[in-house]
Structure 1
Amino acid sequence: MPGAMVNGLDVGAWLVAQRDGWERLSAGQRERLVQLGVRPPERPAAVAAKARPRRAGGARAGAFERGLAALAQYAAREGAVVVGRSWSEELPDGTAVRLGVWLSNMKSRRATLTGEQLQRLAALGLEWAEAA
């Protein structure tokens, strides 16, 4: 399909780039492409399974636990849970958690968090977790 030109732009090459980088696109970008009739590339099941190794408890659960530990540490030290978006918190084991980004992600994904996760966030003082 590369070489399909529209107004001097190679839209065929653009389309190939979108499909090749499907996993890196945001959900909104993927949704708009699907509305245009573009589908993600088909991957063999063996390649798909190999591409994402699973950790015990799942990577998302581990990320939540690290973020929660970082937030608890920050709140204990600062006495508040207001964190700047660019703030990184270093855990005792040396792991750096981009705490501001993590909090922003948790807030935007609160509809998908479990009741237990919301309770744990609320226990640290996050008001939006109580209202959800």
Structure 2
Amino acid sequence: MKKAPRARKAAAKTATTTGPRAGGAAFQKGLEALTQYVARTGSVTVPRGHEETVDIDGDEHAVKLGIWLTNTKTRRAKLDQTQLAALAHFGVDWATK
């Protein structure tokens, strides 16, 4: 008996977008939520459990902003310079280090 051939893994998606919307939809939703939160509160300190609702292209999206910010910090080595600059613009201290 012959073994069945192994299935190949799908190739990883790569981001090819450049410009102001670079970084993918999830990053952009989080950044929009952060923009809204900072405009309303004047602070970039977000409670971990905070959820911000944003309107993107006429659709409302609930963004778990505190978790998004924590995850983004954890993965900061994978962020490009445009993403880091966007976060630094709001005063996110770890984005400038």
Q: 1:71 aligns with which of 17, 23, 34?
A: 34
Q: Equivalents in 2 of 1:61, 1:86: separation in Å?
A: 23
Paired residues in the alignment total 82
Q: Equivalents in 1 of 2:42, 2:96: separation in Å?
A: 19
Check if 1:126 corresponds to 2:92. Answer: yes
Q: TM-score, normalised by structure 2?
A: 0.75
Q: TM-score, normalised by structure 1?
A: 0.56
Deviations 1:70-103 (A, max 9, x none): 0000000000110011100000231000000000
Q: In structure 2, what is the equivalent of residue 12 of structure 1?
A: none
* Post-superposition offset of 1:111: 1.1
- Taking only the aligned residue pairs, the percentage that are identical comes to 46
Matches of residues 72-111 of structure 1 in structure 2 within 5 Å?
72-92=35-55, 93-111=59-77
Q: Equivalents in 2 of 1:125, 1:97: separation in Å?
A: 20
Question: Rg: which structure is higher?
Answer: 1
* Post-superposition offset of 1:106: 0.8
Matches of residues 1-132 of structure 1 in structure 2 within 5 Å?
44-45=7-8, 48-49=9-10, 61-92=24-55, 93-131=59-97
Q: Which runs of 5+ in 1 are unaligned?
A: 1-42
* Post-superposition offset of 1:44: 1.7
4+ aligned runs moved over 3 Å, structure 1:
none
Q: CA RMSD in A?
A: 2.3
